[in-house]
Amino acid sequence: MAHDSHAHDGAHGHTIVPIKVYVVTGIALAVLMLLTVAAAYIDLGSMNAVVAMVIAIIKAGLIVLFFMNVKYSTRLTWIFVASAFFWLFILLGMFLPDYLARDFVHQSDAWTSSPTVPSVLPIDKRVLHGELHGHEDPAPEH
C-alpha cells in the first residue's frame, strides 16, 4: 500500500491521518516538555506557574487536535470537545474567585479553621451517663 502523504478518507468517510503527523506531534511534545523543565529552573517569579501552565495547555491542545484527531473531525465533535473544557473553565472560574476573595474580608482563616458554632449544643444525655460505646460522635468536633 502506498504511503499516504496527506489525510484521506477511509472506507467510510472517516479521515485517516498519516502516521507522519503523529511522529511530528510527538517530537513537538517532547520539545515542549524539555522547555517546561528548563523554564522551571529559571527564576521567573510568579510567571513560572503561568509559563508551565501555558506550555501544558499547548501540549494538551496538540494531543487533542492531532492524536485524538479532533482537527480532522466534524464540527459536532468539536462542540462536544469544547463543552468538556468549557465546563472545566466554569469549575475553575467559579472556585478561584471565591477562595481568592475570602482574604478580602479579613477572614483568611475562614475556611481553614472550623466554622463558628454556638459553644452550647444539646448534648446527648447518654454521654453524661457513659452509655455510648465510643463509635458514636455525640459531641461536635472542636
Partner 1 sequence: MAHSSDGLVAHHFEDLEQQTESAVLGMWLFLAQEVMFFGGLFVSYLVYRIKFPDAWATASGALNVWQGGGNTVVLLVSSVTMASSVWCAQTGRQRGLKLGLWLTLILGLTFLVVKYFEYKDKFFHHLIPGANFHWTGPVIGSPTEGQIELFFVLYFIMTGMHALHMIIGAGILIWIMALAYKGYFSPQRYMKVELFGFYWHFVDIVWVFLFPLLYLVQRHG
Nearest CA among 62, 43, 41, 65 for reference residue 54: 62
Of 51 and 124, nearer to partner 1 (C-beta) is: 51
The least distance separating partner 1 from the CB of residue 5, rounded to whole angstroms, comes to 13
The least distance separating partner 1 from the CB of residue 104, rounded to whole angstroms, comes to 14
The least distance separating partner 1 from the CB of residue 123, rounded to whole angstroms, comes to 29
Of 43 and 137, nearer to partner 1 (C-beta) is: 43
Q: Cα separation of 47 and 44, whole Å?
A: 5
Q: Which cell is 138 given?
A: 455525640
Strand partners, 114: none
The least distance separating partner 1 from the CB of residue 140, rounded to whole angstroms, comes to 21
The least distance separating partner 1 from the CB of residue 142, rounded to whole angstroms, comes to 15
Of 114 and 136, nearer to partner 1 (C-beta) is: 114
Cβ proximity of 109 and 102 under 8 Å: no
The radius of gyration computed from the CA coordinates of the chain, to the nearest angstrom, equals 27
Helices (H), the chain: 19-40, 47-62, 75-101, 125-128
Residues that bind partner 1 (CB under 8 A): 1, 4, 10-14, 16-19, 22-23, 25-26, 29-30, 33, 36-37, 40-44, 48-49, 52-53, 55-56, 59-60, 63-64, 66-69, 73-74, 76-77, 80-81, 83-85, 87-88, 91-92, 95-96, 99-100, 112
Count of alpha carbons within 13 angstroms of residue 4, beta-carbon side: 13
Of 25 and 124, nearer to partner 1 (C-beta) is: 25
C-alpha distance from residue 85 to each of 64, 89, 91, 120 (Å): 11, 6, 10, 46
